[in-house]
């Protein structure tokens, strides 16, 4: 549930600071692995994390196993391979540390007949026989509590998890933010994924805040996230996004140049998603018209960011050229401001 690209209890490939251990996050476990690899004692880690020493000792056993057996011979020894599986190592992780491949490790494991068994969690101990299928796989036993049902179709497991990573996008540390935003975008692209009203508000606020991040990669990921959010949120939240981005694009007094630039990209990405999601703009045209009005009025008021205004207007006209309603509704207004700008430039020269 941490991330699909994480192979296990692996140390970070970098030095970590004590704050990463002190502050509880969903990535602290990797900082813990890193410091165990670098020689931190259990007592020192307990002082920093307040994690029970029993758990720290178990974590330490995993790292010590990595240190002692990171060579190709480990997959040729049945006892070592069984110990690795009992410590929780995946075949992929074993392959990584033994300079092997996942199929080779799996082949060796199956050759030694090292397979997991199905055990049943007793949710009502000593009261009555267990009926619920709360199951887990383990390498610590040699028998199954539940036998597979004999059916023609292949049995399947259904796994699920909640959309629990939104608040992690605001954590300190670019590694955390980038991984979390990537996870969120993966969820947003799933057709079956639905956000409730509170979650919509929360994620919109956080992603808009990330546009002002000092890391350009985080900013770019936030822009991509906004373009996907449009498909999953209600109109009131779309309006909040558009209003914020419009304001950022034209505010030269309190908004940095970089934020104006990234907001410009974000607004274009959102507009494009609105056009695609609107299926010919039947459902989303009114929001695009509000954006158009905003920038036309900004030019009329002789604001300083005329170039930005025109840039957005041209972008929208280009994307909606087949929609005559938008073009003709703003035809006269556009004609007025263009003539005004031409006259102003001629007068200045």
pLDDT at 279: 46
pLDDT band at 148 (very low <50, low <70, confident <90, very high): low
Structural domain contains residue 108 = no
Structural domain contains residue 142 = yes
**Are 315 and 209 members of one domain?**
yes
* DSSP 8-state class, residue 232: T
Q: Which two tokens stand for residue 156?
A: 């399947």
* pLDDT tens for each residue of 44-93: 999 999 999 999 999 999 999 888 887 767 788 899 899 999 998 989 88
Euclidean distance between the first and final Cα of the chain, in Å?
63
Dihedral angle computed from the Cα positions of residues 255, 259, 265 and 270, in that order, rounded to the nearest 10 degrees: -70
Instruction: Say how far apart CA 253 and CA 180 lie, in whole Å.
Output: 32
**Are 245 and 141 members of one domain?**
no
**Are 252 and 191 members of one domain?**
yes
Structural domain contains residue 272 = yes
**Are 340 and 218 members of one domain?**
yes
pLDDT at 27: 79
Instruction: Say how far apart CA 34 and CA 10 lie, in whole Å.
Output: 7
**Are 188 and 308 members of one domain?**
yes
* DSSP 8-state class, residue 147: P
* pLDDT tens for each residue of 93-129: 888 888 888 999 999 999 999 999 988 877 666 566 6
**Are 326 and 178 members of one domain?**
yes
pLDDT at 306: 63
SS3 per-residue string spanning 125-158: CCCCCCCCCCEEEECCCCCCCCCCCCCCCCCCCC
pLDDT at 2: 53
Among candidate residues 320, 313, 314, the one with its CA nearest the CA of residue 272: 320
* pLDDT tens for each residue of 304-349: 556 777 777 777 777 666 655 555 566 666 666 666 666 565 444 3
Structural domain contains residue 171 = yes
Contact assessment for residue 230 and residue 274, using Cβ atoms and an 8 Å cutoff: yes
pLDDT at 162: 39
**Are 137 and 178 members of one domain?**
no
Q: Which two tokens stand for residue 115?
A: 């397979």
Query: For all residues of the chain together, what is the average pLDDT?
Result: 78
Contact assessment for residue 216 and residue 180, using Cβ atoms and an 8 Å cutoff: no
Domain count, the chain: 2
Instruction: Say how far apart CA 112 and CA 21 lie, in whole Å.
Output: 39
State the CATH number of the domain containing residue 319. 1.25.10
**Are 234 and 193 members of one domain?**
yes
pLDDT band at 272 (very low <50, low <70, confident <90, very high): confident
**Are 139 and 176 members of one domain?**
no
- Give the up-direction half-sphere exposure of residue 178: CA atoms within 13 A in the CB hemisphere: 10
* pLDDT tens for each residue of 185-242: 877 887 777 788 888 888 898 889 888 888 888 888 889 989 888 888 888 899 999 9
Integer angstrom CA distances of residue 198 from 42, 146, 166, 184, 201: 41, 41, 12, 16, 5
**Are 128 and 260 members of one domain?**
no
Q: How many CB atoms lie within 10 A of CB 343?
A: 10
pTM for this predicted structure: 0.49
**Are 214 and 311 members of one domain?**
yes
Mean pLDDT of 258-273: 89
Structural domain contains residue 192 = yes
**Are 138 and 246 members of one domain?**
no
Using alpha carbons only, give the angle 128, 130, 134 rounded to the nearest 5 degrees: 150
Domain hosting 171: range is: 166-348
């Amino acid at each position: 549930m941490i991330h699909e690209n994480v192979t296990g209890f692996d140390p970070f490939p970098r030095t970590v600071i004590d704050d990463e251990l002190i502050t509880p996050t969903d990535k602290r476990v990797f900082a813990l692995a890193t410091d165990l690899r670098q020689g931190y004692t259990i007592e020192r880690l307990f002082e920093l994390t307040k994690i029970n020493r029993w758990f720290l000792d178990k974590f330490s056993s995993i790292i010590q196993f990595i240190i002692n057996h990171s060579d190709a011979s480990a997959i040729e020894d049945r006892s070592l391979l069984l110990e690795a599986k009992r410590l929780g190592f995946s075949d992929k992780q074993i392959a990584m540390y033994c300079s092997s491949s996942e199929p080779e490790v799996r082949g060796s494991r199956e050759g030694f007949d090292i397979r997991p068994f199905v055990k049943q969690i007793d949710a009502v101990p000593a009261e009555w026989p267990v009926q619920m299928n709360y199951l887990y796989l383990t390498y610590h036993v040699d028998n199954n509590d539940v036998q597979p049902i004999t059916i023609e179709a292949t049995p399947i497991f259904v796994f699920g998890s909640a959309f629990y990573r939104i608040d992690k996008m605001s954590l300190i540390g670019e590694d955390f933010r980038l991984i979390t935003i990537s996870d969120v975008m993966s969820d947003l692209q799933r057709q079956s994924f639905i956000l409730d009203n509170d979650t919509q508000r929360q994620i919109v606020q956080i992603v808009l805040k990330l546009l002002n991040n000092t890391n350009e990669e985080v900013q770019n990921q936030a822009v991509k996230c906004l373009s996907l959010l449009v498909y999953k949120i209600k109109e009131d939240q779309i309006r909040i996004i558009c209003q914020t981005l419009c304001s950022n694009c034209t505010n030269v007094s309190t908004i940095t140049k970089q934020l104006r630039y990234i907001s410009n990209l974000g607004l274009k990405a959102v507009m494009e998603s609105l056009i695609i999601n609107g299926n010919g703009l039947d459902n989303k045209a009114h929001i695009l018209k509000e954006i158009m009005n905003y920038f036309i009025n900004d030019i009329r008021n002789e604001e300083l960011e005329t170039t930005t205004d025109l840039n957005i207007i041209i972008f929208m006209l280009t994307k909606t050229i087949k929609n005559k309603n938008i073009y003709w509704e703003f035809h006269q207004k556009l004609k007025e401001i263009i003539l005004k700008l031409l006259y102003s430039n001629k007068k200045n020269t």
